[in-house]
């Protein structure tokens, strides 16, 4: 007997957003490829299109996504050869309803994600409706990438701002290390009492911080997938 598995609606929504986003890639483009489960679906779909003749070059926002793209035959480049990207497609942890404000980086790739996004004419964010929040920080912390040397003092300064930072650790209790060989401190935005804009400034002014996961108004468009179709924020 064959069993047909009902598809999880959240997964189906994610796939819808990813497929729509991947459909925006055009022949000849230089494309930024994001990180996370939604981005993995985008890469899968772009890989399918490449196998059918689409010609693009790409830069990935993590070693993981790079490996996924290479395994699908996507032609990869780097910033030494390609300073400007036409389009980057990535996911997000939170999207503030009615805005283009995001929290990103819970996949640990926020620094490369921001570098790649800044090098792109357009940043397209693909999400399912679970990512929509009234206020940034309601569900997720803000990941802040810091230099390992003296991270305890960086954490103290972030604590003084009220962010209650917590070091991200692996299952073995050792610090999680990013592709850039940094640590991540998870910061609680609501606890700080600061607005997202104020917090972004505070993070940037903190010595030891390399980058933070607040992407405020950087996206050109957010595509929200659902079983019924797609909606947009722009």
**Spatial distance between the Cα atoms of 110 and 233, rounded to a whole number of angstroms:** 21
Query: Nearest Cα to 189, choosing from 135, 141, 131?
Result: 141
The footprint of ligand 5RP on this chain (CB under 6 A) covers a number of residues equal to 18
Q: In degrees, to the nearest 5, what angle opens at C-alpha 167 toward C-alphas 161 and 172?
A: 170
**Smallest gap from residue 30 Cβ to ligand 5RP (A):** 20
Q: For residue 156, say whether it is annotated as part of any ligand binding site.
A: no
- 94 interacts with ligand 5RP by CB under 6 A: no
93 a known binding residue? yes
Q: Does 211 bind ligand 5RP (CB under 6 A)?
A: no
Alpha carbon 210 to its chain centroid, in Å, reads 16
Whose Cβ is closer to ligand 5RP: residue 156's or residue 232's? Answer: 232
d(CA 141, CA 162): 13
Shortest Cβ 3–ligand 5RP spacing (Å): 27
Secondary structure class of 9 (helix, strand, coil): helix
68 belongs to the catalytic site? no
Q: Is residue 180 helix, strand or coil?
A: coil
By CB under 6 A, is residue 21 in contact with ligand 5RP? no
Q: According to CB under 6 A, which residues from 73 to 92 bind ligand 5RP?
A: 90-92
> Catalytic: which of 19, 68, 94, 113?
113
How far is it, in rounded angstroms, from Cα 217 to Cα 208?
A: 24
Residue ranges binding ligand 5RP (CB under 6 A): 34-39, 90-93, 104-110, 113
**Active-site residue numbers?**
113
Q: Which residues are annotated as a binding site?
A: 35-38, 90-93, 104-107, 131
């Amino acid at each position: 007997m064959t069993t047909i598995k009902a598809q999880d609606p959240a997964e189906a929504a994610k796939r819808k957003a990813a497929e729509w986003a991947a459909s925006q890639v055009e022949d000849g483009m230089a494309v930024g490829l994001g990180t996370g489960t939604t981005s993995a679906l985008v890469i899968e779909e772009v890989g399918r299109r490449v196998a059918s003749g689409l010609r693009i070059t790409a830069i990935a926002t993590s070693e993981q996504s790079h490996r996924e793209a290479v395994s699908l035959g996507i032609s990869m480049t780097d910033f030494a050869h390609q300073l400007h990207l036409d389009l980057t497609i990535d996911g997000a942890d939170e999207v503030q309803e009615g805005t283009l404000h995001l929290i990103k980086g819970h996949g640990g790739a926020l620094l490369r994600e921001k570098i790649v996004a800044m090098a792109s004419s357009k940043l397209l964010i693909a999400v399912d409706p679970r990512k929509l929040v009234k206020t940034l920080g309601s569900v997720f912390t803000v990941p802040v990438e810091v230099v390992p040397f003296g991270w305890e003092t960086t954490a103290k300064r972030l604590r003084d701002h009220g962010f209650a930072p917590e070091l991200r650790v692996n299952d073995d209790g050792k610090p999680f290390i990013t592709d850039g060989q940094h640590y991540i401190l998870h910061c609680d935005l609501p606890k700080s009492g600061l607005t997202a804009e104020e917090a972004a400034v505070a993070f940037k002014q903190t010595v030891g911080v390399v980058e933070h996961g607040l992407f405020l108004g950087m996206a050109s468009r957010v595509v929200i997938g659902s079983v019924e179709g797609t909606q947009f924020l722009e």
